[in-house]
Amino acid sequence: MNVVVTGGSRGIGCAIVERLLQDGHKVCFSYRSATAEAEAIVAAAEGRVAAVQADVTSEEDCRRLITEAENFFEGKVEGLVNNAGVNRDGLLLRMSEDDFNAVLRTDLSGPFLMAKAAIPSMMKLRSGRIVNMASVIGLYGNPGQANYSAAKAGLIGLTKTMAKEFASRNILVNAIAPGMVETDMTDSMSEKAREAALNQIVLKRMAQPSEIASVVSFLLSADSSYITGQVLEVSGGMIL
């Protein structure tokens, strides 16, 4: 399968790219500023992966990413993983409008723009897979993350609507809602915040990025051919 992954140079995105290559897919991923990391992934993958610098908040960049992906694939885009995201945490009364909108632009408008750019290619094939990276925060909310929670909740709604709109073309659209994952973001947490988070998880540990990537792999595989419009929570039993 030819798959586009946004935000594929670091963290969960990098793990997704590595897993998809392991599965035998051809991958084109976007990155915004991590040029060295992106180049290292491309160099290690022997021509089965391409990297495109692009900003998913720009409709022009999203279209260019899909065009460059089609050229690299020498064909159509068959899969899309909307992974790119940002966070700008803060209590609602202290949160600026700029910080609120910046998260919505990347985490919600970005997947919308990417889907608009990629779906015509899938429609011609009468087949496709889209995986949107939501979050447990979009399901349950979290103090200090009004912008992130709103964006991820919106992404879940977008996922369900897209699943209904494109089912007739055999385009399956699902979302993953990770809990706490060992990334640069969680590495910066204070010990107190980390302990509080672990106390909410029945498995008493954070996920590894590879554990999220394995669920992406499943949703892109033939084994998920009768699943669409769903949100798979991958949180280690964070909210039970």
Q: Annotated active-site positions, please?
A: 148
In sequence order, the 6+-apart residues with CB closer than 8 A to the CB of 191 are: none
Answer left, alpha or beta for residue 188, where phi above 0 means left and psi between -120 and 50 means alpha: alpha
* CA-closest candidate to residue 177, choices 231, 106, 104, 103: 231
Separation between Cα atoms, residue 12 and residue 126, nearest integer Å: 29
| Contact between 31 and 51 (Cβ < 8 Å) | yes
Neighbours of 205 (CB within 10 A): 10
Q: Are 138 and 153 in contact, with CB atoms under 8 Å apart?
A: yes
CA 228 to chain centre: 16
Assign 27 to helix, strand or coil. strand
